[in-house]
Amino acid sequence: MGFAGNTPRLDALIEGLESAKGLEDLQSAIEELRDQLGIDHIVYHWVSSNGDQYGCGTYSQEWVQRYLDKGYLRIDPVIQGCYQNFHPVDWKRLDWSSKAARAFLKDAIAFGVGNQGFSIPIRGPNGQFALFTVSHNCNDLEWEKFTEENRRDLILVAHTFNQKALEFEPGRAPDPAQPLSPREIEAMTLLAIGYSRAQAADTLSISEHTLRVYVESARFKLGAMNTTHAVARALSRGIIVV
């Protein structure tokens, strides 16, 4: 399982994604990615505030329909956990303690979703929330190795999928760029001149947690993949000056 050591294959997939013309091309790409990675399933889905879902994936139609019929969106620990996280989440680290959550997991495994999963939360413009999920049936050691080897590549692919889906979403008007707040600009400027997060937080007299909130908010507004990318974009657009 994995992309590790095979960058040309990943590059080709991303190039194909960037030239996608519609959701059917994303569906083909997600099937190709699943086969290349040698795992059971991959799903990209955009969850709107009213519960509508838009996207593509390799789950069986029977499971998708059952998920909708049972209203699993309300109790799915993956959705709930990813709403509360900015970073990728391994399913094992989520809260499966409730009876409803355990019943949901048992049902999902019965429908072939897999006993292991790794979900990447994506936050886009105007409060958009999406998930990119890979799942498989294997032991903990194999899954840990797979996620460690492929984490970075999966994050890159997830954001590429979301970028294309935003282009295809019916009736969506382009969003104006959101301005950074003064605090976000201060935080990004300190990081740009080489301060560590601890030093930047100390300089601004805030906690590292609060600093992280400002940095993540700026990153989403800038449409950046990570903090380094966000700093580069802010510099190139003249939002921060060092």
What is the domain-level CATH number for residue 79? 3.30.450.80
Q: Structural domain of residue 100, as residue ranges?
A: 7-168
> Are 44 and 131 part of one and the same domain?
yes
pLDDT of residue 97: 94
Per-residue pLDDT band for 126 (boundaries 50, 70, 90) equals low
Question: For residue 71, is it within any domain?
Answer: yes
- What is the pLDDT of the chain when averaged over all its residues? 86
Task: Report the candidate in 222, 40, 17 with the shortest Cα–Cα distance to residue 124.
Answer: 222
> Are 145 and 191 part of one and the same domain?
no
Q: What is the mean pLDDT of residues 15-44?
A: 90
Per-residue pLDDT band for 1 (boundaries 50, 70, 90) equals low
> Are 137 and 187 part of one and the same domain?
no
- What is the distance, to the nearest Å, from the Cα of residue 67 to the centroid of all Cα atoms in its chain? 20
Question: For residue 55, is it within any domain?
Answer: yes
pTM: 0.68
pLDDT of residue 233: 83
Please say if the pLDDT value at position 193 is more than 50: yes
Residue with the bigger pLDDT between 24 and 118: it is: 118
Residue with the bigger pLDDT between 4 and 21: it is: 21
Q: What is the mean pLDDT of residues 21-48?
A: 89
Question: For residue 225, is it within any domain?
Answer: yes
Per-residue pLDDT band for 13 (boundaries 50, 70, 90) equals confident
Question: For residue 19, is it within any domain?
Answer: yes
> Are 52 and 74 part of one and the same domain?
yes
pLDDT above 70 covers a percentage of the chain that reads 88
> Are 147 and 206 part of one and the same domain?
no
Question: For residue 72, is it within any domain?
Answer: yes
pLDDT digits (tens, 9 = 90+) for 156-177: 899 888 888 888 765 454 445 6
Question: For residue 222, is it within any domain?
Answer: yes
Please say if the pLDDT value at position 140 is more than 70: yes
Which of these ranges, 52-56, 94-98, 156-160, 193-197, has the smallest mean pLDDT?
A: 52-56
Greatest pairwise CA separation for the chain in angstroms: 55
> Are 59 and 158 part of one and the same domain?
yes
| Cβ atoms of residues 131 and 119 within 8 Å | yes
pLDDT digits (tens, 9 = 90+) for 210-220: 999 999 889 88
Question: For residue 177, is it within any domain?
Answer: no
> Are 122 and 204 part of one and the same domain?
no
Domain final position from 112, 137, 168? 168
Question: For residue 147, is it within any domain?
Answer: yes
Domain final position from 135, 168, 201? 168
Domain count, the chain: 2
pLDDT of residue 225: 78
Domain final position from 122, 144, 168? 168
> Are 87 and 188 part of one and the same domain?
no
pLDDT digits (tens, 9 = 90+) for 141-152: 999 999 999 998
> Are 117 and 33 part of one and the same domain?
yes
